[in-house]
A and B are shown apart, each in its own frame.
Chain A
Amino acid sequence: MVRRIGLLVTCLVDLIRPSVGFATAKLMEDAGCIVEVPRQSCCGQPAFNSGDRTAAREIARQVIEAFAPYEYVVVPSGSCAGMLKVHYPELFRGDPNWQPRADAFAEKTYELVSFLVDVCRVDRVAARVEAVATYHDSCSSLRELGVRDQPRRLLATVQGLRLTEMRDADVCCGFGGAFCVKYPEISNAIVSKKAAAIAATGADLLLAGDLGCLMNMAGKLQRDGANIAVRHVAEVLAGMTQEPAIGMPAGPPPCSPPHAAESREGEVKR
């Protein structure tokens, strides 16, 4: 069965790391789906979590309209998928016109990895990435959408990849959207603990399914001088690790020999 997918790429991927969007598209196409990308901005989470329901509703209506033609909506982010799947219906509760639409929209929306495993029944990927990786459970993926085993199951089929669990993988990284800039000291305290837990695994590659969390953790690890590459789980599952890891410059730094740079990035090309 060919599934027609509307890809909601998320505003962070769109702006900061398009390669995650291409990896997502590749994974879905490999699973036999047709992927399309309607014009989009953001899911409205910043407004919703700041208490501006009016703006959140306006944006939600726009998203529901834009993705109306698709059989499924797939999102490479737990928190944006959670917004669509859990909070859109909440936003329109009691609205005779929009509640049914929001409910139907929620029904067809999936976080990327759970879509691959739970809907497309993908049980292995063809990728090869040489690395010791540790996986962080983003809060919304884990607690709003129940995504826990799916990424680990697929990562276990990536050739060359060894997965090692960090302590407290299910504990928040301290990102929290606007929280991290509204309460930067507290956010820093939380991400410092997370960075220490990551470093303690000895892994050279950190993975997660949310770019917000990834940017936060990568930014902290890099500020601390840790040599751990950070990537979205889709990049590894798709075997698309040609692009430098998050926050890393293109190409090896001029002073270090190429293989040193390679091992610092924690991976070998496919």
Chain B
Amino acid sequence: MTDVATHAATSPRFKDNAKSALADADLQNALKFVEVNFIARRREAAERLPEFDALRDSARDIKDHTLAHLDLYLEAYENRVVERGGHVHYAVTGEDARQIILDICRKLGARTVTKGKSMVAEEIGLNDFLAAQGITPIETDLGEYIIQLRHEMPSHIIAPAVHLTKAQIESDFRRVHAHLPAGRNLVEPTSLLTEARAVLREKFLAADVGITGANFLVAETGSSVIITNEGNGDLTQTLPKAHIVLASIEKLVPTLEDLSQLLRVLARSATGQDMSVYTTLSTGPRRPDDPDGPGEYHVVLLDNGRSSMLAGEFRDMLRCIRCGACMNHCPIYHAVGGHAYGWVYPGPMGAVLTPSLIGIDKAGHLPNASTFCGRCEEVCPVRIPLPRMMRSWREREFEQHLSPATVRSGLAFWGFFAKRPWLYGVATALAARLLALAGRTRGRFSWLPLASGWTRHRDFPAPQGGTFQAQWNRQRGRLARPVGQADGPNL
């Protein structure tokens, strides 16, 4: 793929990214929050709701049903939006979506746009694009605001600045908000929030266009739904002249009743809240009697590869409601954080989605960097079989001969013996004896040829000597015969 938004991907350098991440003391400190807090909060929220697992089944079913009839629901949704005076724009690629948004901004003579948190905007590289066209994008979600100050990508899909410590954020605020008194107290997290709010309040009032994402789009009513904890999204979408909703096509749900089912699993899975602080539905532009609201309401529906996922083995991934539970429970994410994944979507969901969006040739490390521990699937509110789909990517990679040569030749060597149990028995018996002899004194090795990946960090136990099969056959060979032989033991 050649889209500008994917050029920035550092996913091919995942290994180097991971090494730097492991050596970054601030990052390692910040990641403890993910490992401890998100997990405990989700568990408590789930335990408080006896029907939580049944709700997950129903959430999965709602999304599956919607995906099976996505064309019909898109049409119904579009009709409702238009009836309410809004506009729907279909964007096949990220490039299309950027151009549509630019045209709307240009028509309104927009100089600044405020933005609610949107991973799809990150996916299409919207901020850099708008800035290059002379339109200033201002992120209004606290986490997004912080990473915009630092020219970084989000490192988590619901907590974009989770990779930072409070001290780092304080020093960024002092650097950027230079007009504020130097002696002010920013020790408490709330003081950081208050300061960001004050700075952003002026931007809200000055913005010409507000762009938000959508957690859901409701076909029944033509509504877009955002779920936030700060209220910034509400100001983004009500104050400016126009509200642009940027959402990918799989965000659709049929009815408000379906929406309420999904809301019951979303916040619990994400932050452990029963509900987020704000759940805001927007339906069309301001009506004559409304006290406030945007004059224009646009929805940009992005495909960007989703409809081809719909037809293939990665379809289940389109159920994702972006709660972040998979990364919150992922030991790899805990170790290296989100930036190491090298593009917009990190963690297990990113390991499945990113290859679909930027290509397995660039994102091959992501589905490989998993122990298949299965915790992601265990907590997914819509039961996406994430390990199975990571394995499917490994299969694609293997079929296309993209796996590293060392992996392929190692596998071929092992496979040659594994497919010939008799030869395998001879070879392993020899190996076991040699290794046992070599490791007899210490009982383990601190270095082994061709195994430095293991022995750099761990000792390797010496075999006890002689394979199990050889010993068993020696001890029991004459006692037990294969079942079905005439002279087998009587039962």
Residues on A lying within 8 angstroms of B by beta carbon are 2, 4, 9, 11, 13-22, 25, 34-42, 44, 46-53, 55, 58-59, 62, 66, 69-70, 90, 139-140, 143-144, 170-172, 174-191, 215-216, 218-220, 222-223, 243-244, 246-250
Dominant secondary structure of chain B at its interface with chain A: helix
**B442, A249: Cβ atoms closer than 8 Å:** yes
**B459, A222: Cβ atoms closer than 8 Å:** yes
Give Cα A58 to B420, complex, Å: 11
**A143, B373: Cβ atoms closer than 8 Å:** yes
In the complex formed, the residue of A with least CB distance to B450 is: A181
**A172: chain B residues within 8 A (beta carbon):** 331, 371, 373, 375
- Max chain A C-beta neighbours (<10 A), residue from B393, B418, B431: B418
Nearest chain A CB to B410 CB, angstrom units: 8
**B395, A53: Cβ atoms closer than 8 Å:** yes
Our pick among A9, A25, A41 for the contact of B418 (Cβ within 8 Å) is: A41
**A171: chain B residues within 8 A (beta carbon):** 331, 373, 375
Give Cα A171 to B378, complex, Å: 12
Give Cα A247 to B448, complex, Å: 14
- 15 intermolecular pairs with C-beta atoms under 8 Å apart: A16-B432, A20-B468, A36-B480, A36-B483, A41-B420, A50-B398, A50-B403, A140-B374, A170-B375, A179-B371, A183-B15, A185-B22, A189-B335, A191-B457, A219-B458
Give Cα A170 to B336, complex, Å: 20
Nearest chain B CB to A43 CB, angstrom units: 9
> In B375-407, which residues have CB < 8 Å from any A CB?
375, 377-378, 388, 391, 393-399, 403, 407
Number of A-B contacts defined by CB within 8 Å:
231
**A51, B419: Cβ atoms closer than 8 Å:** no
Instruction: Contacts A34-B491, A249-B443 given; indicate if A184 touches B457 (C-beta within 8 A).
Output: yes
Q: How large is the interface on B (under 10, 10 to 19, 20 to 34, 35 or more residues)?
A: 35 or more
**A140: chain B residues within 8 A (beta carbon):** 372, 374
B275 an interface residue at 8 Å Cβ cutoff? no
**A182, B453: Cβ atoms closer than 8 Å:** yes
Instruction: Contacts A36-B483, A53-B395 given; indicate if A180 touches B461 (C-beta within 8 A).
Output: no
Residues on B lying within 8 angstroms of A by beta carbon are 15, 18-19, 22, 331-332, 334-336, 368-375, 377-378, 388, 391, 393-399, 403, 407, 411, 414-415, 417-422, 424-425, 428, 431-432, 440-444, 446, 451, 453-454, 456-464, 466-469, 471-473, 476, 480, 482-484, 489, 491
**A50, B22: Cβ atoms closer than 8 Å:** no
**B463, A16: Cβ atoms closer than 8 Å:** yes
Dominant secondary structure of chain A at its interface with chain B: helix
Nearest chain A CB to B416 CB, angstrom units: 10
Instruction: Contacts A180-B454, A185-B22, A219-B460 given; indicate if A174 touches B472 (C-beta within 8 A).
Output: no
**B466: chain A residues within 8 A (beta carbon):** 18
In the complex formed, the residue of B with least CB distance to A50 is: B411
Nearest chain A CB to B328 CB, angstrom units: 12
Give Cα A40 to B403, complex, Å: 28
Nearest chain A CB to B406 CB, angstrom units: 9
**B476: chain A residues within 8 A (beta carbon):** 37
Q: Which 9 pairs of residues, A with B, have the shortest CB-CB distance? A: A176-B371, A219-B458, A51-B398, A181-B453, A51-B394, A249-B443, A18-B468, A172-B373, A247-B461
**B19: chain A residues within 8 A (beta carbon):** 185
**A182, B407: Cβ atoms closer than 8 Å:** yes
**A47: chain B residues within 8 A (beta carbon):** 411, 414-415, 418
Nearest chain A CB to B387 CB, angstrom units: 9
Nearest chain B CB to A59 CB, angstrom units: 6
Instruction: Contacts A14-B468, A49-B372, A184-B456 given; indicate if A36 touches B418 (C-beta within 8 A).
Output: no
**A18, B467: Cβ atoms closer than 8 Å:** yes
**A186, B421: Cβ atoms closer than 8 Å:** no
**A143, B461: Cβ atoms closer than 8 Å:** no
